[in-house]
Structure 1
């Protein structure tokens, strides 16, 4: 009634759930709680033992209804899918009415006193029905899923930590696979790290970072730019300025002191990889402007 949730049990799982060790302590706790909430204890002169007997009888009747009816359904109702589906509100109404009735009979038998009247019994029935709904809501949504996981061996395991790639390069606490590095650019006291998978904006200084990168992975083409070997496409000469074009079309200005080394590096890399190296003017015959400002 509270949530409308439905729990599916496979085969005889329902009977195995109700006797599972996780629920045993809950049964004792519920019995003691109902004994403390028993509204009839103030109307009759009964000892604690006598009141506990009434509570045990009432709960026993309720448990029989809540367990026996589903068990009977499992035997009599064909289940082609092998799954028993129970909507517990109907069972809870039946269990509450019969349990209150059994409690009244036990009360008369043990104490010799008759019930106070029809209205108190109705109020008691409604109260215990709502209490039963609340208890079943907690048990079904919190306890039973854990019981089913335990029975089915579906207890979730913590994911094992994945071993870190020994080839990974650490830059200011961030790890990057060598083959994914593309372009590093200084930006004041910070730097932009661009890979084939992501971008990062990390603190500098820029120089020590690029000096720690293995030489075979790329080259520092200016004071503020490092380019991976796989990212370089061609060099373009316009006057005395050399510009490096990357495979994605990005233009990186090459420092004059590094121009010859970069041209030879790109030429060797492209020839070794079967590619093309171009040394000459820009595509429009003018001066290629770099998005970088390195010297």
Structure 2
């Protein structure tokens, strides 16, 4: 299968492209800096600077993971706009490619798996969250809502659309866990704020498997929660992580410190959602790492 990936040089995209190449798929990657990301990806990947550059070799499937890192900088108005625009622009570029293919009479992709995040739901307290849960209105929701809305026009072209609302992605080589490990290894880790906020999480290998599952299962469309079936609170997460490292977790970070240092972005750490992968499980997907201790045990 010929699969076009945006965000292929990112934390999840690199692993996805590696696995697709190993499975014998033809992998197309969109990157603004093809030469700079070449060494991060398998040599067989065809890397170009726009989706339209693949017009002569139409993909069979699209995987849309591109976007400015959510926690890279403090959320100024300018940074908020960049977070939204980077996701919307990459998504609109894929829709434009499909419109051009249709206008040319060329074959269209059968499916697009398009990224979103647990932020779609906003802060949900202790409520169990499925794909049907009404969101809480805040910036994270507006970001994800606009990201998802940018993908919707592709359905009118006859392309199946699956939206993946991803939780905290775990692997030692990147993401939030990479940033958390140093203080925990030194015995300086602890909960954030009260620790009662939920942290939906997923092992990176399970997330990649979910993406492939959604690509290959013809009847699946709409929104799917991309998180393991057993989310935990922040207090439990930090306790399990410290136990895996044989270290204490006795240095909590007060909420006021996070708010002072990070501003509105502190909500990423101080709020959450008890998000469950209801639709994935109903569709028959099996998680390799369903519990946090199993996932962290494999990673560490």
**TM-score, structure 1 as length reference:** 0.23
**TM-score, structure 2 as length reference:** 0.22
RCO higher in 1 or 2 (8 Å CA, sep ≥ 6)?
2
Q: Decide which structure has the larger Cα Rg and report it.
A: 1
